[in-house]
Amino acid sequence: MFKLSEIKELIKLLDQTSSVHELEIESEGMKLAIRKPDRSEADAMAIQATPYAYPYTPAPQPQSQQYAAPAAVTEIPAAAQQPVSTEGTLHKIVSPMVGTFYSAASPETPSFVNVGDRVSEKSTVCIIEAMKLMNELEAEVRGEIVSVLAENGQLVEYGQPLFLVKPE
């Protein structure tokens, strides 16, 4: 079911963009279509929410596609701004791109890694969403997570440290 606050946020985002004129979203047996009115149409946007005929079987989607855009951009946490005394011996996992940091595959699942967890080179540590694509980031080093420097839903920059790992 679509929440009114989510619909309002989508309308604002659509209204602010000049290149997108129509948006359709399907979720949990509901379809939401929002379009910008033409200049000749009424000044209100047309919104439709139509239930599917049941039984409805949604198409399988990768878990990484289940995120909604964050409501607000948060600042870099204080822990990320303070130097760590053992930083010279720690491996930094940095963001390979500008995007939104997600610590889990979906809001209902636990974080990929937490402080104290052991990781291998191929362990997924987070997802960076960029241009509506979900990019899984791997640890690329074997060791223990010492610090998580980004918060879930935070906008991160290219090269920004996300995790500190004590290599084995």
Question: Could you read off the pLDDT of 98-115 as tens digits, one per residue?
Answer: 999 999 999 899 999 999
- Please check whether residue 22 is in contact with residue 34, taking contact to mean a CB–CB distance below 8 angstroms: yes
- Residue 157's Cβ-side half-sphere holds a number of Cα atoms within 13 Å equal to 6
Hey, what CATH topology would domain 78-167 get? Answer: OB fold (Dihydrolipoamide Acetyltransferase, E2P) (2.40.50)
- CA 88 – CA 20 distance, rounded (Å): 46
pLDDT at 125 > cutoff 60: yes
**Would you say 96 and 168 are in contact if contact means Cβ atoms under 8 Å apart?**
no
Angle value at C-alpha 73, between 150 and 26, nearest 5 degrees: 100
Give the per-residue pLDDT at 8: 76
**pLDDT (mean) for 135-150:** 94
Q: How many CA atoms lie within 13 A of 77 on its CB side?
A: 14
Give residue-wise pLDDT tens across range 50-99: 444 444 445 555 555 455 555 554 454 544 444 444 456 899 999 999 99
- H/E element, 81: helix 78-81
pLDDT band at 18 (very low <50, low <70, confident <90, very high): low
In the chain, where the domains are located: 4-60, 78-167
pTM of the model: 0.49
